[in-house]
Copies of this chain bind each other. A is one copy, B any other.
Amino acid sequence: MDGKIVNLRSKLEIYKAGSGGGNLADCPVRDVIQGISNKWSSLLMEALAEKPYRFGELRRLVPDISQRMLTQTLHDLQRDGYVHREVFPTKPPSVEYSLTDLGRSMFGPLHQLIQWAELNHGAVREARKVFDAAEG
What are 13 A-B pairs at a CB distance below 8 A? A11-B46, A12-B46, A14-B46, A14-B115, A18-B121, A24-B43, A31-B121, A37-B42, A79-B127, A79-B131, A81-B130, A102-B120, A105-B116
Q: Does A95 count as interface, using CB distance less than 8 angstroms?
A: no
**Contact A106 to B120, CB < 8 A, known contacts A33-B114, A37-B38, A43-B30:** yes
Task: Give which listed residue, B18, B41, B50, B124, contacts A11 with CB less than 8 A.
Answer: B50
Which A residues form the contact surface with B (CB < 8 A)? 10-12, 14-15, 17-18, 24-25, 28-39, 41-43, 46-47, 49-50, 61-64, 78-81, 102, 105-106, 108-118, 120-128, 130-132
Q: Is the interface of A mostly helix, strand, loop or mixed?
A: helix
Please name the 8 residue pairs, one residue from A and one from B, whose CB atoms are nearest each other, closest first.
A81-B127, A32-B117, A28-B121, A109-B112, A109-B113, A79-B131, A25-B64, A109-B116
CA A31 to CA B129, docked complex, whole Å: 14
A87 shortest CB reach to chain B, Å: 14
Rounded to whole angstroms, the CA-CA distance of A28 and B123 in the bound complex is 11
